[in-house]
């Protein structure tokens, strides 16, 4: 009986620990389109210096759908935009992304759009690796994960967790921590907007966070 109790406690600790793990998929070579330099973007498939400059001027993009709309407005075909996404992307929220957003993830397709939705709510990448790993190889799971994020608890996330947010530095992490405790998403945006961060940039960062 005692052993069973200890095992249950240990399992609970694993779940809690997983919920606080880094919550932005680790890059396997894909960069964040909202934080990449103009020079980096100009090297992407079907981009030109002029397009890269226009992209930077239009940032931040609130979602991959907004970026997709922008690229198409710049004269790219959907196939050309998809080739761009193999190198640069705007992360999708695993818990709220629409099928349309998921289908823009290179290699996802309708099957993964279904699986991403079926296992919601996602709490950690350990869970993601386990569930999506039932259908594809570990390498394929990692490639898919890099396009995604699971919102982290703004009140409890560690420095290491917060630094996984694209473009984050210690100053941003300190600003997030200084605003604790948060009660609403609006509180997060308000704390982020202090200093030199613009309202649009505050919204970009805030989408990686949640209040629990």
Mean pLDDT in each 10-residue stretch from start to end of the chain (212 residues)?
38 38 88 98 97 98 98 98 98 98 97 97 96 98 98 96 96 95 95 85 96 89
pLDDT score for 21: 53
DSSP label at 151?
Answer: -
What are the angstrom distances between the C-alpha of 116 and each of 42, 78, 99? 32, 23, 9
- How far apart CA 41 and CA 84 sit, in angstroms, is 9
Provide the residue ranges of all domains of the chain, joining segments of one domain with +: 22-150, 152-210
Q: Which long-range contacts (CB under 8 A, 24 or more apart) does 67-70 make?
A: 67/33, 68/104
| Number of residues that this document lists for the chain | 212
pLDDT score for 18: 38
pLDDT score for 194: 83
**Kind and range of the H or E element at 32?**
strand 31-32
Dihedral sign, Cα of residue 166, residue 205, residue 25, residue 40 = negative
What are 149's strand-pairing partners? 24, 93
pTM of this prediction exceeds 0.85: yes
62 within 8 A of 96, measured Cβ to Cβ: no
Token pair recorded at residue 189: 């945006």
Dihedral sign, Cα of residue 135, residue 138, residue 144, residue 145 = positive
């Amino acid at each position: 009986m005692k052993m069973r109790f200890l095992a249950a406690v240990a399992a609970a600790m694993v779940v809690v620990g997983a919920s606080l793990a880094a919550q932005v998929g680790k890059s396997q070579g894909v960069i964040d389109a909202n934080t990449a330099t103009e020079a980096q973007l100009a090297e992407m498939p079907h981009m030109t210096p002029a397009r890269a400059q226009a992209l930077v001027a239009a940032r931040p993009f609130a979602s991959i759908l907004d970026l997709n709309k922008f690229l198409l407005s710049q004269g790219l075909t959907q196939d050309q935009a998809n080739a761009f996404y193999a190198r640069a992307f705007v992360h999708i929220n695993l818990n709220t992304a629409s099928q349309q957003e998921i289908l823009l993830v290179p290699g996802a397709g309708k099957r993964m759009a279904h699986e991403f939705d079926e296992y919601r709510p996602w709490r950690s990448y350990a869970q993601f690796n386990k569930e999506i790993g039932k259908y594809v190889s570990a390498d394929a799971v990692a490639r898919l994960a890099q396009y995604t994020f699971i919102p982290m608890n703004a009140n409890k996330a560690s420095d290491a967790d917060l630094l996984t947010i694209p473009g984050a530095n210690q100053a941003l992490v300190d600003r997030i921590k200084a605003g604790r405790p948060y009660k609403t998403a609006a509180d997060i945006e308000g704390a982020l907007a202090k200093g030199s961060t613009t309202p649009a940039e505050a919204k970009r960062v805030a989408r990686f966070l949640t209040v629990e």
